[in-house]
C-alpha cells in the first residue's frame, strides 16, 4: 500500500497558479521591476527576419513544451516533498516474555504407575510429559528451557521459543536415563546458572521444579541450592509428584504409599524465592497445578503491531531532476 507521509504538501501544486495571478498585480502596483534597455534592438531583429513566421511558430511550440515540462517537474517535486512510502502489512511483535526453566525429575521412581486418569493408571513421567507439553504450548510469548535430572542434572534444552523441539526432547526421554538417584540440588544449580547468564530482568525469570523424591545425591546439597536460589532472587515453583496410594492388580486394590517427597524442603525453597509449593497426586491435579502457575504468571495479552515502511520519494525526485536537465539541454541547443 502506498501512503503519503506529508499529504499537506499537495497544496504546493497551487503555487504556480497563485504566482501567475498575483505577480502581474504586484507589477502594476509598483511599476516594472526589470527594464531591458536593448529590447528595441531585439524587436528590430525580429522584424527584419525573413523567417519571422517560422520562428514564431517554433517559439510557440517550444514555449508550450517548456510549460508542460516545468509543470511535470513541479508536480514530481511536490510529490517527492509529500514523501511517498510503501507500507507493508501490520505485523505483531513479540513481547518481552519470561524465561522459564522446566526442571523435571527422570529418576527410576518416575516410572511408578500410580497417576490415575479416567480409570486408567499412567506413570508419573507419562503424566509429566503430557501436562508439561500443553503448558509449553500455552506460553507463546516466553522462552522455555528444560533441565532433566536423576543422579546427575543435564541442561537438555536451552532457553528457546521452539516449543516443538522442546516437546520432542521431552517425549524422547525415559525414566532412569539420568540415573537412579535424585540430585535436586544439582538440578536447581544448573537451572540457576543458565538463567543468570541471560541478560534479562530477574523478575522475568522463573523455575518450575518437579520431583517425586528427596535430594540424595549430587555435588550440591539441598540447603546449598536453597541458599543459592535465595541469593539470585529467581522465583521457583516446586511440585511434589506422588500418589497417596499404590495400585495393585490393575487398580482393583490399593495400599497407602510411603511418602518419599521432601515436602518441607520443597516448601522452604518455594517460600524463600517467593514461589509456591504444589502437590500432585494424579494427572488431573498435576494439570491443575500447571494451569494455576499459568494464571499466576499470566502473559500480557495486548500486542503491539508494526508496519514495514520504505521511502519512495527518491523516485519522483530523481525523475524530476533528469527531466529538468533534459529540458535545460534541449533549450540550450535551440
Number of H helices, E strands in the chain: 10, 13
The reported pLDDT for the residue numbered 148 is 96
Q: Domains in the chain and their CATH numbers?
A: 2-89+307-333 (no CATH), 99-296 (3.40.50.410)
Give which of 181, 291, 293 is closest to 237, Cα–Cα: 293
Residue 327 cell numbers, joined: 529540458
Cα atoms found within 13 Å of the Cα of residue 121, Cβ hemisphere only: 17
**DSSP run (H or E) holding 329:** helix 314-333
What radius of gyration, in Å, describes the C-alpha atoms of the chain? Answer: 40
The reported pLDDT for the residue numbered 311 is 87
Place of cell 522455555: 144
Place of cell 506460553: 139
pLDDT in tens, the chain (334 residues): 788 888 888 888 888 877 777 766 555 555 555 555 555 655 555 555 544 554 455 555 556 777 788 888 888 999 888 988 888 777 665 556 789 999 999 999 999 888 888 878 889 999 999 999 999 999 988 999 999 999 999 999 999 999 999 999 999 999 999 988 999 999 999 999 999 987 777 778 999 999 998 899 889 998 999 999 999 999 999 999 988 766 544 544 444 455 678 999 999 999 999 999 999 998 999 999 999 999 888 765 455 566 678 888 888 899 989 988 888 777 666 5
**DSSP run (H or E) holding 201:** none
User: How many whole angstroms separate alpha carbon 2 and alpha carbon 313?
Assistant: 11
Place of cell 504444589: 278
Helix, strand or coil, per DSSP, at residue 117: strand
Helix axes 222-232, 263-272, angle to 10 degrees: 20
Residue 298, Cβ neighbours under 10 Å: how many? 7
User: How many whole angstroms separate alpha carbon 51 and alpha carbon 54?
Assistant: 5
Cα atoms found within 13 Å of the Cα of residue 6, Cβ hemisphere only: 12
The reported pLDDT for the residue numbered 238 is 96
User: How many whole angstroms separate alpha carbon 280 and alpha carbon 285?
Assistant: 5
Residue 123 cell numbers, joined: 506413570
The reported pLDDT for the residue numbered 57 is 52
The reported pLDDT for the residue numbered 182 is 92
Quick check: 82 and 311 in contact, CB under 8 A? no
Which residues are within 8 A (CB) of 56 and not within 5 positions of it... i.e. 6 or more apart? none
Burial class from Cβ neighbours inside 10 Å (0-12, 13-18, 19+) for residue 142 reads buried
Q: What are phi and psi of 203, to 5 degrees?
A: -65, -25
User: How many whole angstroms separate alpha carbon 282 and alpha carbon 267?
Assistant: 19
**Strand 143-149 versus strand 99-105 pairing type:** parallel
The reported pLDDT for the residue numbered 92 is 64
Cα atoms found within 13 Å of the Cα of residue 135, Cβ hemisphere only: 27
Quick check: 219 and 240 in contact, CB under 8 A? no
Quick check: 265 and 222 in contact, CB under 8 A? yes
Amino acid at each position: 500500500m502506498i501512503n503519503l507521509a506529508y499529504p499537506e504538501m499537495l497544496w504546493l501544486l497551487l503555487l504556480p497558479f497563485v504566482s501567475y495571478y498575483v505577480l502581474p498585480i504586484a507589477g502594476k502596483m509598483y511599476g516594472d521591476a526589470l527594464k531591458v534597455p536593448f529590447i528595441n534592438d531585439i524587436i528590430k531583429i525580429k522584424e527584419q527576419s525573413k523567417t519571422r513566421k517560422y520562428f514564431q511558430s517554433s517559439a510557440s511550440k517550444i514555449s508550450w513544451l517548456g510549460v508542460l515540462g516545468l509543470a511535470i517537474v513541479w508536480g514530481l517535486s511536490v510529490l517527492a516533498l509529500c514523501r511517498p512510502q510503501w507500507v507493508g502489512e501490520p505485523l505483531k511483535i513479540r513481547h518481552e516474555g519470561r524465561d522459564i526453566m522446566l526442571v523435571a525429575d527422570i529418576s527410576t521412581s518416575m516410572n511408578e504407575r500410580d497417576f490415575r486418569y479416567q480409570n486408567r493408571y499412567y506413570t508419573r513421567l507419562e503424566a509429566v510429559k503430557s501436562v508439561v507439553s500443553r503448558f509449553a504450548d500455552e506460553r507463546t510469548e516466553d522462552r522455555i528451557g528444560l533441565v532433566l535430572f536423576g543422579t546427575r542434572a543435564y541442561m537438555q534444552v536451552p532457553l528457546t521459543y521452539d516449543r516443538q523441539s522442546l516437546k520432542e526432547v521431552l517425549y524422547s526421554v525415559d525414566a532412569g536415563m539420568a540415573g537412579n538417584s535424585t540430585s535436586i540440588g544439582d538440578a536447581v544449580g544448573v537451572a540457576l546458572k543458565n538463567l543468570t547468564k541471560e541478560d534479562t530482568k530477574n523478575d522475568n525469570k522463573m523455575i518450575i521444579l518437579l520431583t517425586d523424591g528427596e535430594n540424595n545425591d549430587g555435588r550440591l546439597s539441598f540447603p546449598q541450592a536453597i541458599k543459592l536460589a535465595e541469593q539470585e532472587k529467581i522465583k521457583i515453583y516446586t511440585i511434589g509428584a506422588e500418589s497417596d496410594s499404590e495400585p495393585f492388580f490393575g487398580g482393583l486394590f490399593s495400599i497407602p504409599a510411603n511418602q518419599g517427597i521432601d515436602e518441607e524442603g520443597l516448601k522452604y525453597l518455594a517460600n524463600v524465592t517467593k514461589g509456591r509449593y504444589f502437590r500432585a497426586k494424579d494427572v488431573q491435579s498435576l494439570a491443575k497445578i500447571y494451569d494455576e502457575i499459568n494464571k499466576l504468571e499470566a502473559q500480557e495479552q495486548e500486542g503491539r503491531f508494526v508496519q514495514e515502511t520504505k521511502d519512495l520519494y527518491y523516485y519522483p525526485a530523481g525523475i524530476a531532476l533528469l527531466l529538468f536537465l533534459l529540458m535545460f539541454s534541449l533549450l540550450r541547443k535551440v
